[in-house]
Amino acid sequence: MSITNPSLTNLSKAKVFDGWHKQYQHQSEVLNCGMRFAIYLPPEATPENPAPVLYWLSGLTCTDENFMQKAAAFQKAAELGIAIVAPDTSPRGEDVPDDPEGAYDFGLGAGFYLNATQAPWKKHYQMYSYIVDELPKLVEDHFPVSGQKAISGHSMGGHGALTIGIKNPEKYTSISAFSPICHPIIVPWGRKAFRHYLGEDSAQWAEYDAVELLKSRPANLPMLVDQGDADTFLRGQLLPETLEEAAKEAGAELTLRMHSGYDHSYFFIQSFITEHLEFHARYLKEK
């Protein structure tokens, strides 16, 4: 499929497992800056046979490159006929504000997949709208993919996948996450980011917290969460037990799997990414 959007620039491409990994730059109207994303297209994806898409959201400090280069997902994606889209984790550019102290857990690389309401962040940090609306439209307009979507992510991206999927069950078939920040309104990472991006209104914070969302609305999508018990962030930042309890009370379809000895790294993701792709394929093929 040819790319006709003049703002969409191909930065790189590589053939892998008979499909193509491609990286693009484009101008985002929602984020008011240039953005980069990567897409893996499986071998049989054509305009006549469009592929369903798994959107992958990465964690703090990451870009589109971390998952695509480290997760070892392409062989199984090619086998299942699933495209993968990996966006960046925040807006970037000279005019985009950053944490004045240069901290890794806020600002550039730490968009938290929300729509900021506070100055100076609200001009650019509209990652929720970018992921839910702008990026999928761009991808569906210019690549051989269908409107069938699933969503997954890691850490901060796991938080994004859970909250976006729970809030938009009509847009996605399934949700999965590795080591997600499950209850951000009560942990340091989330409280810092939410206070800056959203102000002190706790009702706005709850709109981007998977545990709080499960308490307030039906959870219609199947969810798979994997967590390592050797993860150094498990007790202080991630709190999967809070998600499990909220899902149980809400009657949500959540499978939480704890894995002995695994940490927060991409070695953990590599170990179970095939199972996540197979999980999503079951529901993508039902639609």
Tokens of 175: 């949700």
Q: Which domains does the chain have, with CATH numbers?
A: 8-284 (3.40.50.1820)
How far lies 159's CA from each of 14, 164, 189, 224, in Å?
Answer: 30, 8, 11, 13
pLDDT of the chain, 287 residues: tens digit per residue: 444 455 799 999 999 999 999 999 999 999 999 999 999 999 999 999 999 999 999 999 999 999 999 999 999 999 999 999 999 999 999 999 999 999 999 999 999 999 999 999 999 999 999 999 999 999 999 999 999 999 999 999 999 999 999 999 999 999 999 999 999 999 999 999 999 999 999 889 999 999 999 999 888 899 999 999 999 999 999 999 999 999 999 999 999 999 999 999 999 999 999 999 999 999 997 75
Q: CA of 249: how far to CAs of 211, 226, 254, in Å?
A: 11, 20, 11
Residue 9: beta bridge partners?
25
Judged on CB neighbours under 10 Å (0-12, 13-18, 19+), 8 is middle
Cα 118 versus chain centre, distance? 23
Beta bridge partners of 51: 145
How many other β-carbons are positioned within 10 Å of the β-carbon of residue 49? 11
> Which residues are known catalytic residues?
155, 231, 264
